[in-house]
Chains A and B, each alone.
Chain A
Amino acid sequence: DVKVTQSSRYLVKRTGEKVFLECVQDMDHENMFWYRQDPGLGLRLIYFSYDVKMKEKGDIPEGYSVSREKKERFSLILESASTNQTSMYLCASSPRGQGRHEQYFGPGTRLTVT
């Protein structure tokens, strides 16, 4: 079974703080993704990575950065948290090639910025 884990289920931070969200997958997947999910807006892609140290912007990268130093780990960084970044953050991973394209998701981190 694929397992994607996220460092925290719930997180409360203050405006202006630097926030790190960590994601680890155990299936040796090449691709990893960060989404945020908000009521009425669905899942929106923030950033993704297709290899170690490689990253691409998704649809809403402003205010976020990412880091992928090891294949199994993908971090999302909020440089200076703002209240409009209060959201559910979801990490996912996916194999490349091999005819399989589905993404597997972690449990999510509910971030509240006050």
Chain B
Amino acid sequence: EDQVTQSPEALRLQEGESSSLNCSYTVSGLRGLFWYRQDPGKGPEFLFTLYSAGEEKEKERLKATLTKKESFLHITAPKPEDSATYLCAVQGLFSGGYNKLIFGAGTRLAVHP
């Protein structure tokens, strides 16, 4: 069964203190791994798609990396506006053409000035 586990559940950082969020997955053939950002009371906002081990994507202070078992979302010198819940999701080869995703429970990030 396809499964996604994110850690930690919550993370508190000081402004400028870099850290990483983890997404471990088991899937019957990875078609894609996705990172989303979700602000309180809003829908998830798409950040990155990673397709194969070794791939990296960057956007501002965020950098996502992928191995065969996990993905990391690295946050460099975070600012308070980076505070949000970060969701990881995977799509397996057997999701067909429907692009079904399996989501992790998310990591709540709080960045304090």
Q: Which residues of A contact B (CB under 8 A)?
A: 4, 31, 33, 40-43, 45, 48, 50, 56, 88, 90, 92, 94-97, 100-108, 110
Contacts and interface: CB of A to CB of B under 8 A. Distances in A.
B100 A48 contact: yes
Given A42-B105, A101-B91, A102-B34, A108 B42 contact: yes
B1 to A, nearest CB: 11
Contacts of A31: 97-99
Contacts, number: 60
Interface stretch (B17-25, B43-51, B66-74, B75-83): B43-51
A108 B43 contact: yes
Interface residues of B, number: 22
Nearest to B95: A101
B112 interface: no
Interface string B5-26: 0000000000000000000000
Q: Report whether over half of chain B's contact residues are helix, strand or loop; otherwise say mixed.
A: mixed
Interface string B93-106: 00001111101111
B49 A105 contact: no
Given A43-B87, A102-B49, A56 B98 contact: yes
B63 interface: no
Given A42-B104, A105-B44, A106-B43, A50 B49 contact: no
Interface of B: 31-32, 34, 36, 41-46, 49, 87, 91, 97-101, 103-106
A43 to B, nearest CB: 4
Nearest to A56: B98
A97 B46 CA distance: 18
State the 3 A-B residue pairs at the shortest beta-carbon distance, nearest first: A105-B43, A94-B99, A43-B103
A103 B34 CA distance: 9
A102 B43 contact: no
16 contacts: A31-B98, A33-B100, A40-B105, A42-B105, A43-B103, A50-B97, A50-B98, A90-B43, A90-B44, A96-B98, A101-B91, A102-B32, A102-B34, A103-B99, A105-B45, A107-B43
